[in-house]
Structure 1
Amino acid sequence: MTPNIIGLAFIVLGVFIVLGKWVRVFTPLLQRLYLPSSIIAGLLALLVGPEVLGRIVSLFSSDDFFLTQGLISENILAVWSTLPGLFINIVFASLFLGKTLPSLKNVWIIGGPQVAMGQMVSWGQYVVGLLLVIFILTPFFGVNPLAGALIEISFVGGHGTAAGLSGTFEELGFSEGVDLAIGLATIGILTGVIVGIILINWGARKGHAKQIGAKSGISTEENNGIIEFENRESAGRITTRPESIETFSLHLAYVGIAIGIGAILLEGLILLEAWTWGPLTDTYLMIYLPLFPLAMVGGIIVQAISDRFDKFKVIDRSMIDRIGGFSLDFLIVSALGTVSLAVIGDNLVPFLLLAVTGVIWNVFAFLFLAPKMIPSYWFERGIGDFGQATGITATGLLLIRIADPDSKTPALQGFGYKQILFEPLVGGGLFTAASLPLIFQFGPVAILILAIVVTIFWLIFGLLYFGRK
């Protein structure tokens, strides 16, 4: 692959991101669905690529017609297919950089109920997914047992995690899994927003959502995603003088160091396994573990060192947010643009069963378990967990914003604190990344038993510890 092709691939990505933004600005329906512009851009790329436009044109023309591959060449798609696995490392390395890590005591006091709820829902997604695989999808449709992890990978992990695990899917012989996962992630975001807003309207009618009043949670200006000119702020604080070093460059370097630490940790785990339990048990898991969850650990280490030794506090969270946001946008567009619709079509019934099962479990957990596990403001706090469990973190934040527009409840703060004890393990964390090799090595039944035990633990803990308060 030549440098010119790689450069052109990024230019084309940029074109679709711009198109996706302006399509959203002038399409009220997409605004009401709160679809991110990056998802719109990825869907546009999919429509004009070989999977949609190319297939339509090939029905009415010869194979050598220039549009049989759509408007995006194979070389560009080849570059795009490699980007999710790279950008996901940046996204996860950025999660905790620039954040002052609060004490675990404060995290537990404020965010504890949402930690228990989030963990229970996420582990429960493995339970329902593996049950579906063991009793229906594998016996009747011949689906790979690894599909039992797809609900949690796609719904809580989102597009980034789904695409970032593409290498693991390939190595474990389930290459179609990445297309199914990205498709499920798209379904998850759509249903998370739509079902979430339906639940908020229901909660307002029933008196559960007490913070919804005359004030609308999202203004017209916020809907189209454009900040008014007079309200625009700097994208990040400049913490270094440009003649010394560009601030953006320094922050990008810190992200790179976090990823490097993660790579060292991963290699260390691979070597440790090769020297210890690997030869004794003939079980090798670390070689299938992707880099991104350990890049997150690397970010925590870098931030801890910065808090201890950097008296100038040069790492600015808003600048890190820009780096992580840029990476996630490019990741989503490239991942959606390279999805194989043929794979989803060949597995349409299993795909729909996984999607419907995941949504039903999340709605059940919110309506029947959240009121018993969250001692106060269960609706406002639980709706955020529902949004994250069905879509992504941003979906949870959006639903909290609608249900509690003036932030009068601890929902937003608890949701933020929850991530510290949530994301390192599930939702794209260590177990999410390890779930595929674990199912591959030990089988779906063993992991189902583990998931049931952990789900029941968090359920009982939430009911008896937090629910009684």
Structure 2
Amino acid sequence: MSVTQLFVSLMLLALILLLSNILVVKFAWLRNFFIPGSIVGGVILLLLGPYVLGVFVKSPFADGGGLFPSYVLDAWADLPGLLINVVFAALFIGKPIPGIRDIWYRAGPQVVVGQTMAWGQYVLGLSLAILVLVPMLDMNPIVGALIEIGFEGGHGTAAGMAGTFSDLGFEAGADLALGMATIGIVSGVLVGTLMVNIAARRGVINPGDTTNSAQRAKQEGPSDAEQEDFHTELAQEKGTTDPLSLHLGLVGVAILLGWLLLSGFQWLESVTWARDGGLEIMAHVPLFPLAMIGGVMVQLLLARCGWERHVSQRLMSRISGTALDFTIVSALATLALTTLGDYLLPFLMLAALGILWPVLVLVFLAPRVMPDHWFERGISDLGQSMGVTVTGLLLLRMADPKNDSGAMETFGYKQLLFEPVVGGGLFTAAAPPLIAQFGPGPVLILTAGVTVVWIAFGLLYFGRRVPGRGQGRWSPKQA
């Protein structure tokens, strides 16, 4: 593939992102369901590609599919695995990283709920794989990891792990995970909105007009604190000759550090336990979770040297968000619908479990481990575990438009003890290789043990601080 062909492929993605954002602005129902423009654009390209339009209409290109030549489809298929590294590398750069003790004190209960949701998704998925999907439907046991990868990890993680699935002989895994992520983000908004309205009617929360709180917040504009942060970051950007170049360079450094870490771990594995055909785990782990660790290292170095004032969190978020948009659009554009059709029954079974588990954790565990504002804090975890971080924040904004509970801050702190492990972290990347090497049974035992430990720890440690020990979970919240 030439540079010109790659450029054409990227420009087509940029044009479809422009069109999709215009559609989101024009059609209120897309905004009401919080459907991102990247997903709208990806669906449009999917419909115009080889698996929909290409089935009925002959492509104008001899080696293409739908309305696109083959080199465009090939470029789009490779982009997610590359751009996801940018998304995760930029995740923590520019954000203050407080001490572990401070994070744990403020966000510990939320960490418990989020970790329980994530690890429980492995338990349910692997149990279904062992009992039904593998023996009855002859599926690859790695299918048991798809709930967490698709729901908790989202489209970016699902797309970024395509190479891992292929290496492990489960090529259908990438398409199934992308489909799972799509179901997750839609069901996260629908189920989460339903839960917010139920909580409001029962007096658990008092958000006012829950159906229009997010739209009203947009109309009201940024708060004074948000405007102050904006002006502060503008001043930071003026301190450099070219802010975008600087920030892209920092992302590059983070990815380089992640690559060095991954290469080091792979070398260590090759000369120790994987020697002479032994166990291989790191050989199948993608780069992006290590790039995220590289980003943390870059941020710690900036803070240590006093250079963090030159880094804009706003601009770094834009870089990460743009890379994520291109990742999602290109991944959905190359989604093989025939794969979803071939595995429709197991796909629906996994999706149903993925929706049920976070709801159960929110209703039964959250009020028993969170000492205050359990619903506001728990609904953000539910949104994240069924879609992406943005879904969690949107549901939190609906439940608590003015952030009276302080759940916005605890949700942010919780990410520092959450995302490095699950939701696109190290274990998310390592789970498929672990299942391939040891089988689903041992990994099920491991994840079930971790889930039980988190639940027990939450009830015994944080539960002591809960008034009434979480009784009356749907009664009005305590003062």
Q: Same fold (TM over 0.5)?
A: yes
Residue number in structure 2 paired with 1:357: 353
Return closer, same or farther for 1:167/1:236 CA change in 2, 3 Å cut-off. Answer: farther
Q: How many residues align?
A: 460
1:141 aligns with 2:137: yes
Offset of 1:237 from its aligned partner? 2.7
Residue number in structure 2 paired with 1:176: 172
Residue number in structure 1 paired with 2:15: 15
SS of the counterpart of 1:406?
A: coil
Return closer, same or farther for 1:424/1:20 CA change in 2, 3 Å cut-off. Answer: same
Offset of 1:222 from its aligned partner? 3.4
Deviations 1:88-123 (A, max 9, x none): 100000111011111111111111100011001100
SS of the counterpart of 2:266?
A: helix
Letter in 2 for 1:210: N
User: Which residue of the other structure, out of 368, 380, 384, is the alignment partner of 1:372?
Assistant: 368
Offset of 1:2 from its aligned partner? 1.2
- Mapped to 2, the partners of 1:296 and 1:235 lie a distance apart of 25
Extract unaligned runs of 5+ from structure 2: 466-479
Residue number in structure 2 paired with 1:47: 47
Offset of 1:310 from its aligned partner? 3.2
Offset of 1:311 from its aligned partner? 4.3
1:237 aligns with 2:222: no
4+ runs deviating over 6 angstroms: 63-68, 231-235
Return closer, same or farther for 1:344/1:380 CA change in 2, 3 Å cut-off. Answer: same
- Mapped to 2, the partners of 1:118 and 1:292 lie a distance apart of 21
- Mapped to 2, the partners of 1:15 and 1:284 lie a distance apart of 42
Offset of 1:212 from its aligned partner? 3.6
Taking the TM superposition and a 5 Å limit, the aligned residue runs for 1:50-449 are 50-57=50-57, 69-212=65-208, 216-219=212-215, 222=218, 237=234, 239=236, 245-279=241-275, 282-311=278-307, 313-449=309-445
Letter in 2 for 1:341: L
- Mapped to 2, the partners of 1:337 and 1:23 lie a distance apart of 17
Residue number in structure 2 paired with 1:4: 4
- Mapped to 2, the partners of 1:69 and 1:241 lie a distance apart of 46
Letter in 2 for 1:84: P
Return closer, same or farther for 1:366/1:312 CA change in 2, 3 Å cut-off. Answer: closer
Deviations 1:11-48 (A, max 9, x none): 10011101111111111211111001111010111011
- What RMSD over aligned residues (CA atoms) do the two structures have, in Å? 2.3
Residue number in structure 2 paired with 1:34: 34
Preserved CA contact (<8 Å) 2:200 2:206: yes
SS of the counterpart of 2:364?
A: helix
- Mapped to 1, the partners of 2:34 and 2:400 lie a distance apart of 17
Return closer, same or farther for 1:173/1:135 CA change in 2, 3 Å cut-off. Answer: same
Letter in 2 for 1:342: T
- Mapped to 1, the partners of 2:308 and 2:164 lie a distance apart of 40
Offset of 1:57 from its aligned partner? 2.1
Deviations 1:146-173 (A, max 9, x none): 0100000011100000000011001000
- Mapped to 1, the partners of 2:201 and 2:179 lie a distance apart of 33
Of residues 369-378 and 181-190 in structure 1, the stretch that sits farther from structure 2 once superposed is 369-378
**Aligned sequence identity (%):** 47
Return closer, same or farther for 1:236/1:323 CA change in 2, 3 Å cut-off. Answer: farther
Offset of 1:373 from its aligned partner? 2.0
Q: TM-score, normalised by structure 2?
A: 0.92
- Mapped to 1, the partners of 2:367 and 2:178 lie a distance apart of 31
Deviations 1:61-83 (A, max 9, x none): xx888798211222101001111
Letter in 2 for 1:390: M
- Mapped to 2, the partners of 1:215 and 1:180 lie a distance apart of 32
Letter in 2 for 1:237: L
Preserved CA contact (<8 Å) 2:61 2:68: no
